[in-house]
Amino acid sequence: MASTDIIIAHGIWKLLNRVMTFVPYDVSVIGASETGKTTLDRQLTTRGEIQRLGEEDRTHHKKTWLGQHYQMPDTTRKKITSEGKLSKTIVSRDLGGHMEYHSTWLRDMINRNCSSVVVVIDQRHMENSHNVDNQTALGYLVRGLSDKKNIPKGLTWRGWWRAKNYYPQRVVLLANKADEWMTDQDHNTWEKGFISRHPIFNAFRNDLYKLQSLNIPVYMDAVSARYGWNVQNALYKGLTI
């Protein structure tokens, strides 16, 4: 009888995992310009090495005909799979990273009630201490979630009602371009599960603590969106914390 119960329970578990594969997760992907958000979007759409993008490939948004706010591209569905072959379907859009587009980030995640926010960074702040593009991007998110008085323009009526109480269930911080900055020692640290201790994340710790004070858990990992290294697994782990 016990063995039969185990078989039935295992079958139910497999069925539930199969069903959850088709349940879409609304995810907002943000980050400074040229951190690799568009490359990540293309990697999730079609796996393989992604051609290096030029300035003409950067994501830009046109303003609405009234010029009140920037238009956003349509969302697309992608499937991510963990090493254990468990899958999730995510829904996201490719948003620009220039400062003038920052308001679209909050508008996107609030309007779609995104359960997860993925913040993409790179190593520029380690190469040049005067470059704070990455810190500005994460800081904007933290301020937007902390200060509910400044509601972004362009929200739907549902988004407007949701804005004051909106918080994502999690934030995933991905250090992209690992193929450029990760050393053999860094890789050993990553294999041991301690990548969050890497200095690339040091500049963000105060903001990450602020997110935790808002009861928003944070997952940190390293990826190479261009070559597809650890992209699927990092996202799957991040979306399940």
Query: Can you give the pLDDT at residue 27?
Result: 97
Query: Can you give the pLDDT at residue 153?
Result: 85
How many CA atoms within 13 Å lie on the side-chain side of 73? 17
Residue 201 pLDDT > 60, yes or no?
Answer: yes
Q: What is the DSSP string of 69-129?
A: SB--PPPEEEEEE-TTS-EEEEEE-----SGGGHHHHHHHHHHTT-SEEEEEE-SHHHH-T
In this structure, what are the phi and psi dihedrals at residue 226, rounded to the nearest 5 degrees?
-65, -40
* Residue 10: band (very low, low, confident or very high) from pLDDT cuts 50, 70, 90: very low
- Segment 46-51 shows an average pLDDT of 93
* Residue 5: band (very low, low, confident or very high) from pLDDT cuts 50, 70, 90: low
Taking the complete model, does pTM exceed 0.75, yes or no? Answer: yes
Residue 19 pLDDT > 60, yes or no?
Answer: no
Q: Tell me the C-alpha distance between 110 and 28, whole Å.
A: 9
Convert the pLDDT of each residue in 52-74 to its tens digit.
Answer: 988 877 888 888 766 678 888 89
Output the CA–CA distances (angstroms, integers) from residue 7 to 4, 10, 18, in the order listed: 5, 5, 16
Write down the residue that tokens 């706010």 correspond to.
Answer: 69
229: tokens are 């290294």
Convert the pLDDT of each residue in 126-146 to its tens digit.
Answer: 999 999 999 999 999 999 999
Residue 15 pLDDT > 70, yes or no?
Answer: no
Crossing angle of helices 37-45 and 231-238, rounded to 10°: 100
The neighbour count for residue 237, using CB atoms within 10 Å, is 15
Q: Tell me the C-alpha distance between 109 and 137, whole Å.
A: 15
Convert the pLDDT of each residue in 167-197 to its tens digit.
Answer: 999 999 999 999 999 999 999 999 999 999 9
Convert the pLDDT of each residue in 78-104 to its tens digit.
Answer: 999 988 778 999 999 999 999 999 999
* Domains of the chain (ranges, CATH numbers): 23-238 (3.40.50.300)
* Residue 16: band (very low, low, confident or very high) from pLDDT cuts 50, 70, 90: very low
Query: Can you give the pLDDT at residue 13?
Result: 39
Write down the residue that tokens 């468990």 correspond to.
Answer: 86
